[in-house]
Chains A and B, each alone.
Chain A
Amino acid sequence: MRLFLAALVLIAGTMPAAAQWLDRPWPAVPRTPDGKPNLTASAPRAPDGKPDLTGVWNAGQIVARPEPADLQPWILDLARKHQQEYHRSRPYYQCRPSGPEAERYGGWKRILQTPAAIAILNDDLTYRVIHMDGRRLEAEPAPSWTGYSVGRWEGDTLVVESNGYNEKVWTSRYGVSHSDALRITERYRRTDFGHLQVEVTYADPGAYARPWGFKATMALTADTEMLEAVCERSSEHWSSLSDAAGAAVTVPPDVLARYVGVYKGIYGGRERTYEVSLSGNQLVATIVGPPIEGGLGAAGLEDGTPRPLVPISQTVFEGLGLGYQFEVGEKGPATALIVIHISGPYRYARVK
């Protein structure tokens, strides 16, 4: 049951508790007549006249993937391998720094700006430093998780160039790796008091045919605090089928038969269909359907390998490291399938 605990712990850690003390009016924030932060007031400026990006920011989910056709074969092969392993070597799932991974631009950040350096603090307790003292990008910095970053102002836009990433970090949660030629350009623009736009471009001639990236808008989370969300259970604890088999219970065939069907939902911003069938007395889940146009998670990267489901209880199953929970009514067939992944539960409604 470790997997399920892991998923639950992770969810608990990433949902800020609605505690009284988090309700904290910030000083020096422009306010509307009703006392709320005026997020459309003009962006503040530092004593040196540059825009000041200091604040606690939150961005929604980032969906960013290069086109598989733009990946060099070795990167595509690695991405396939990562997918077959259910992305368990994703740094974030291993409780390691996520570095430049696109999806980790989402969520909570605290930015501190000084004339010589800017620090971006993540809620997973990692951070990065952007040098603003006029230095150039290093030709060969020691490879690291968070890279080597230098920033400069182009008008009111902060332009950050980075390199020096180790080979363990991914650029996308979909298992996309990089070569040591990876270079990232970020353009930050605080358009008004409450909004920070970021445009990220990943260029790596050793891995991608052309640069790719994404744009996102971070919103100022005024009048509150950022909470820690520290990873404590790495994917090394995802148990194998044999572990699960030791804890297996027996579910009568007529109960298993109620779970057979087709379930549809969204994983990583894309529609995904699960087909659950019975093979002998063994429940089997398979991801089915035509590949979706473009992007990883499709176009040959979707894993059609059937996953045998080992019962943990009458409704909860484990399949190659993922949890599968069937939602049932009083009687009759299951109404939904919930796939429990370390990144959270994903709900798939039954369609037939």
Chain B
Amino acid sequence: MKLFLTALALVAVTTPAAAQWLDRPWAGIPRTVDGKPNLTAPAPRGPDGKPDLTGIWNGPTPDPLLDPANAQPWVNDLVRQRDQDYHRGRPSFQCRPSGLESDEFGGWKRILQTPAALVILDDDLTYRVLHMDGRELEADPAPSWQGYSVGRWEGDTLVVESNGFNDKTWLTPEGLAHTEALRATERYHRTDFGHLQIEVTFTDPGAYARPWGFTVEKTLAADTEMLESVCERSTEHWSVRSDTAVAVQPEVLARYVGAYVGAYGVRPRTIEVSLSGGQLIARVIGFAFVDGGEIRPLVPQTQTLFEGLGLGYQFIVDDKGNATELVEIHISGSYRYQRKK
């Protein structure tokens, strides 16, 4: 049952507890007449007159559009391979730093700004340092997870150039790869007290014909604290748990046979469940790059819960025991699929 514990644990740590002590009014921030933080007040400035990005920020995860035509064939091959592998090599699923993966721009961040350096602290306990002391980008820095970054002000916009990334990090959760020649440009603009816009552009001719990127909007998470959300169970623990299998009667299994339709991430996915000699089989159709679907034998853990090559499959049944829904349990969360036939 390790897998399911993993999924549960991950969900648990990423949902901040609604504890009393997190209700913490910040001193010295502009407030409206009713005492709430005034998020549309002007952006604060540091002693040097530059906008001050310091604060705790939160916001949605960007969803960059994938354009396979813009990617080199080797990138598309790798994406296909990573998809087939349920993204278990994704750095964040392996408890490793995520570099500039698009998902890293969503969620909780604490920014501390000083004249010589700005740090972006992530709730997964990793961080990035942006050098602001006027230095130029290095020509050949040692490849690293978080890269080498220098920032400069263009008016009220902080422009950050980065290179020196190792080739282990991904650019999106789907597994878009990059070379060590990756160069990223970020433009940070605190439009008012409560809002920070970030525009990210990736340039990597060895992997993409044209630069591409996304924008993300962050909101000041005033009057609270950022909590840790540390990865503790890597995908190396995904396993086939045939040793914990239980017996499920064939007539019970038969009630689960059918087609279930839903979405994995943003892409539609259909899971066809069939019986093959007393063994329930899931055929997963709808990988963007995989034709024909992938076959996963389902090993029963309880009467309704199955494990299939490292993923959990939970059938939701009605009062007659017929499945109405299938929930696919992945380390990134659970995905619901409605029964269609």
| Chain A residues with a Cβ under 8 A of chain B | 17, 19-21, 24, 26-27, 47, 54, 95-97, 110, 112-114, 116-117, 119, 121, 125-127, 129, 133-135, 138-142, 144-146, 227-228, 230, 232, 234, 236
Contact = CB atoms under 8 A, between A and B. Distances in A.
A19 B138 CA distance: 12
A230 B145 contact: yes
A115 B12 CA distance: 33
Nearest to B237: A236
A112 B47 contact: no
A117 B52 CA distance: 14
Contact of A27 (B27, B113, B127, B134): B134
Nearest to A228: B144
Interface stretch (B186-194, B227-235, B281-289): B227-235
A202 B121 CA distance: 26
B119 A116 contact: no
Contacts of A20: 140
Contact of B97 (A112, A125, A134, A138): A125
A129 B114 contact: no
Majority-rule SS of A interface residues: loop
B145 A228 contact: yes
Contact of B142 (A17, A24, A135, A142): A17
Interface residues of B, number: 40
A114 B129 contact: no
Given A96-B230, A228-B145, A126 B125 contact: yes
A117 B114 contact: no
Interface string B156-190: 00000000000000000000000000000000000
Given A19-B142, A110-B129, A119-B112, A230 B21 contact: no
Contacts of B96: 230, 232
Contacts of B141: 19, 21
A127 B117 contact: no
Contacts of A139: 21
Contacts of A134: 27
B92 interface: no
B121 A127 contact: yes
B107 to A, nearest CB: 16
A126 B141 CA distance: 21
Given A114-B112, A121-B129, A139-B21, 9 more contacts: A26-B133, A96-B95, A112-B112, A114-B113, A119-B119, A125-B126, A133-B27, A227-B142, A228-B144
20 contacts: A17-B142, A27-B133, A54-B116, A95-B95, A96-B230, A96-B232, A97-B230, A112-B112, A113-B114, A116-B54, A119-B119, A125-B125, A125-B126, A125-B127, A125-B145, A127-B121, A135-B24, A228-B144, A230-B97, A232-B96
A254 B151 CA distance: 64
A146 B110 CA distance: 15
Given A119-B119, A125-B97, A47 B47 contact: yes
Contacts of B54: 114, 116
Interface in B113-155: 113-114, 116-117, 119, 121, 125-127, 129, 133-135, 138-142, 144-146
A112 B119 contact: yes
A254 B240 CA distance: 45
B144 A227 contact: yes
A47 B48 CA distance: 11
B223 interface: no
Contacts of B119: 112, 119, 121, 127
Contacts of B139: 21
Contacts of A110: 129
Contacts of A140: 19, 21
The 5 closest A-B pairs by CB, nearest first: A144-B228, A228-B144, A126-B125, A125-B126, A21-B138
A119 B130 CA distance: 14
Contacts, number: 88
Contacts of A97: 125, 230
Contacts of B116: 54
A142 B125 contact: no
Contact of A145 (B129, B135, B142, B230): B230
Nearest to A21: B138
B239 to A, nearest CB: 13
A163 to B, nearest CB: 12
Given A145-B228, A236-B236, A119 B126 contact: no
B17 interface: yes
Nearest to A134: B27
Nearest to B54: A114
Contact of B125 (A133, A135, A146): A146
A121 B230 CA distance: 16
Contacts of B19: 140, 142
A120 B94 CA distance: 25
B104 to A, nearest CB: 13
Interface string B52-88: 0010000000000000000000000000000000000
Nearest to B113: A114
Contacts of B138: 21
Contact of B135 (A19, A24, A54): A24
A112 B113 CA distance: 9
A139 B142 CA distance: 43
Contacts of A145: 125, 228, 230
Contacts of B142: 17, 19, 21, 227
B27 A141 contact: no
Given A21-B140, A114-B54, A141 B121 contact: no
Nearest to A54: B114
B127 A121 contact: yes
Contact of A144 (B27, B129, B227): B227
B125 A127 contact: yes
A126 B54 CA distance: 19
Interface in B211-249: 227-228, 230, 232, 234, 236
Given A47-B47, A125-B97, A141 B114 contact: no
Contacts of B140: 19-21
